[in-house]
Amino acid sequence: MVDIATNLQRVRERIAAAAERVGRDPAEVTLVAVTKTHPPEVIRAAYELGLRHFGENRVEEAAGKVGELPEDITWHMVGHLQSRKAAPAVDLFDIVHSVDRVKLARRLDRFCAARGRTMPVLLEVNVSGEASKYGFPIADRDTLEAAIAEILTLPHVRIEGLMTMAPIVADPEDARPVFRGLRELRDALATRFPQVEWRHLSMGMTDDFEVAIEEGATIVRIGRAIFGPRGTR
């Protein structure tokens, strides 16, 4: 049996320690518990321990959970989102971390307009350059800035920051340049697009979230460190 309470306490302590090492307030960091493959009863147990932010990777899986759980949960779409699934995503999620193309932003805007809401989004950036990663390529700043300019014309989508996925590495320190690269990009974009608040850097998962926090993460996406490996109960 996984001891979620003990695991969660350890994660919170590690988040606090990482923030304090670089002079940050731990309250600046939002813990999103990633619950893919975990059933509603596991999510409810985490909710009862005080968690309110949960992340799902797939629209279909989230659809079977959201309606079974308390309404004050904030649901984060943290996985790749296909444009054809934008409509159900608007119905299920409170924020989308993985906007990686203008077409997706347009579709989210259209479905949000039909529902009378505005969707906060993060722009996914491929900082590492890995072909397996989604996101706007960090090396092509012109394309990214053109995309931002167009997304800013959409009235029902609101850019709130950036997201990235670091490569899987044995030493978390090896992921530091990726997280630093996203922060530096955010700082540059804040000068180029001052009308955007640029509140969030969503970066860092179970194996590297402490380094991500040291580099400025405001959202960390953690599953295994809280819930154990997939399939454990």
In tens, the pLDDT along 77-94 reads 999 999 999 999 999 999
pLDDT at 233: 44
Q: Tell which residue, 232, 233, 214, has the closest CA to residue 14.
A: 214
| Averaged pLDDT for residues 132-142 | 94
Per DSSP, 207 falls in state T
Q: Tell which residue, 185, 170, 197, has the closest CA to residue 126.
A: 185
* Dihedral sign (CA 162, 179, 76, 20): negative
Above 80 in pLDDT, residue 211?
Answer: yes
φ, ψ of residue 138 to 5 degrees: the values are -65, -25
Q: Tell which residue, 94, 43, 62, 35, has the closest CA to residue 224.
A: 35
Contacts of 45 (CB under 8 A, 6+ apart): 4
- Which pLDDT tens digit goes with each residue over 18-51? 999 999 999 999 999 999 999 999 999 999 999 9
Tell me how crowded residue 91 is: count the other CB atoms within 10 A of its CB: 13
pLDDT at 38: 95
Contacts of 11 (CB under 8 A, 6+ apart): 31, 222, 225, 226
pLDDT at 228: 87
pLDDT at 2: 79
pLDDT at 101: 97
Provide, rounded to the nearest whole percent, the portion of the chain with pLDDT above 90. 94
pLDDT at 231: 47
From CA 182, how far away is CA 198, in angstroms rounded? Answer: 12
Let me know: does 104 contact 59? Beta carbons within 8 Å.
Answer: no
Topology given in CATH for the domain delimited by 4-226: TIM Barrel (3.20.20)
Helix boundaries (H) for 22-156: 40-48, 59-63, 86-92, 102-115, 141-151
Above 80 in pLDDT, residue 232?
Answer: no
From CA 233, how far away is CA 141, in angstroms rounded? Answer: 44
